[in-house]
Amino acid sequence: MATLSINGWPVLLPGSRLLRTMPCTGDINRRLTGRVEAMPLFLSFVYDYDDWIAPVDKGITDEGIYSYRQSRVPGAGWSCHSSGTAIDINWSAEGSQNSKRGKDFFAQREVAKTVDHLKELYGFEWGGDWDNYLDYMHWQLPRGSSVRSVQERIRFLGITPSGVRTRDIHGKKLAQPRG
């Protein structure tokens, strides 16, 4: 039986054929490694985050999807990063677990509204919503999601393999593709 991450996805060993490293396009000079089925969704998310929340490609490389490790929450099990189904963004800017920087940044009204929109658009869980262990940089596929549900969301949003999104939250074609 497969070992599962916190959100119920199988943990992937380093070098798994289900991992893919892909470059971000446009102005974001990053290469991200994650679960092959979810990479277009994560890349599209990064582009929208970069445009709507805060620049991603500034300074050190501080974004990541795949990491073969246990959760940082004691006793929680395997991290969703170990299944390639979570992303951390801008950990040096917005801060990590329970950080004051993250709390202050995401408490801004416009930022909070945009976070809610991103959660709805992508169907992600956000670490800033957790009860006792706030992880503002963390976004993950939700518990109960599946390869099929991820593929359906990618199709509905018209996301290309490189992460360019062509449809809005209602499935309506965008005048200008995002990515």
Say what the pLDDT of residue 113 is.
95
Instruction: Say how many C-beta atoms besides its own lie within 10 A of residue 8's C-beta.
Output: 15
Query: How much is the pLDDT for 57?
Result: 66
pLDDT value at residue 4: 96
pLDDT tens digits, one per residue of 127-154: 999 888 888 889 999 999 999 999 999 9
pLDDT at 60: 61
Contact 20, 155 (CB under 8 A): no
Buried b (16+ CB within 10 A) or exposed e, 94-122: bbbbebeebeebbeeeebeebbeebbebb
0.85 cut: is pTM over it? yes
Structure tokens at 146: 């599946």
Positions of the chain with pLDDT under 50: none
Which residue from 34, 80, 88, 79 is spatially nearest to 60, judged by alpha carbons?
88
pLDDT attached to residue 33: 93
Using CA atoms, how far residue 164 sits from 48, 50, 79, 157, 178, in Å, is: 10, 13, 27, 9, 5
- Give the residues across from 84 on adjacent strands: none
pLDDT at 37: 96
- d(CA 146, CA 37) in angstroms, rounded, equals 10
Position 83 scores a pLDDT of 97
What pLDDT was estimated at residue 17?
97
